[in-house]
């Protein structure tokens, strides 16, 4: 790999941590954001010249701009942005509080949008750059009990599809990564669950409880292999707009999209009936 500067949000665990480990081992420079000072201290000691740990809450738009300015001033370039920070929120829509709704939108959706907006002027001046947005196959496929998570992922995917067209003339590529289930803290540690209502017991909205219990079997996705594929994508030209990771995720996505297209095709007469 040619030497590059990577800015990655949320490197304390999961994909962010695995990406950071692999990139540093390959001689890359990584600026990784965290929210607590107790994380990634071993990487700081092992790679003092090529790893910068920065504190950032991605819900802080001013903090995002300050950080991006600082990184560009120090390194003179941001070659790759990886929007990784985010979390899962489970429960029926009625079970979620107003604070639950606002927080996940601010983190998963608005935070990613603001990170991309902050790096865009610098990448545009460079006339080069790559934006990697960690989404989920849940950005295409929806399950009960995941409504707000899906809302953020479907939202960021629409945003990224649009800006990919805006930024292509500046030689800036955009890739949406859609992983399936993986053995990370996202599913088995950091997932947030609403205060469950008995009215939704035996309802599809609570089916996620079985998924979150490791006793029912671990997810098939290997975070290390997934991180490797994500890193490799940064060198692919032109940038792939989407990259699905995990055979189950791909099968589910294809089945969902095929059904959606079939449903649309049934509406030919209905659609035409509203034309002048």
- Alpha-carbon distance of 17 to 170, in angstroms, equals 30
- Alpha-carbon distance of 64 to 116, in angstroms, equals 10
Is 87 considered catalytic here? no
With CA atoms as reference, report the closest residue to 130 among 38, 215, 236, 227: 236
- Tokens for 23, please give them: 């990139």
Q: List Cα–Cα distances, 239 to 89, 125, 129, 132, 177, in angstroms.
A: 30, 19, 10, 10, 11
- Tokens for 211, please give them: 């998924």
DSSP 240: P
DSSP 221: B
- Alpha-carbon distance of 84 to 35, in angstroms, equals 13
Q: Sort 23 into a burial class: Cβ within 10 Å, 0-12 / 13-18 / 19+.
A: buried
- Candidates 47, 72, 137, 149; catalytic one: 149
Angle made by CA atoms 107, 112, 116, in degrees to the nearest 5: 155
- Alpha-carbon distance of 274 to 276, in angstroms, equals 7
Which alpha helices (DSSP H) does the chain contain, by range? 14-25, 41-46, 61-75, 98-104, 111-126, 147-167, 185-188, 208-212, 223-233, 247-265, 268-272
Active site residues: 149
């Amino acid at each position: 790999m040619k030497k590059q500067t990577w800015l990655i949000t949320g490197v304390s665990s999961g994909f962010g941590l695995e990406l950071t480990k692999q990139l540093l081992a390959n001689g890359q420079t990584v600026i990784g954001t965290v929210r607590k000072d107790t994380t990634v201290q071993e990487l700081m000691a092992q790679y003092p010249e090529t790893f910068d740990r920065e504190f950032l809450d991605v819900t802080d738009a001013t903090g995002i701009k300050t950080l991006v300015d600082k990184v560009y001033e120090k390194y003179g370039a941001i070659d790759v942005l990886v929007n990784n920070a985010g979390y899962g929120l489970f429960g029926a829509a009625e079970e979620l509080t107003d604070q639950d709704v606002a927080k996940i939108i601010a983190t998963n959706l608005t935070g990613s949008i603001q990170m991309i907006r902050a790096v865009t002027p610098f990448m545009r001046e460079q006339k080069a750059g790559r934006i990697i947005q960690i989404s989920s196959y849940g950005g295409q496929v929806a399950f009960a009990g995941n409504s707000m998570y899906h809302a953020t992922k479907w939202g960021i995917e629409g945003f990224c599809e649009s800006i990919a067209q805006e930024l292509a003339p500046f030689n800036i590529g955009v890739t949406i990564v859609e992983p399936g289930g993986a053995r990370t803290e996202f599913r088995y540690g950091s997932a947030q669950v609403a205060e469950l209502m008995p009215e939704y017991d035996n309802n599809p909205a609570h089916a996620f409880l079985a998924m979150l219990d490791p006793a029912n079997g671990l997810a098939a996705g290997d975070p290390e292999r997934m991180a490797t594929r994500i890193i490799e994508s940064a060198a692919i030209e032109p940038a792939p707009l989407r990259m699905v990771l995990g055979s189950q995720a791909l099968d589910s996505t294809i089945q969902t999209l095929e059904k959606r297209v079939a449903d649309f095709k049934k509406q030919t007469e209905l659609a035409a009936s509203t034309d002048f």
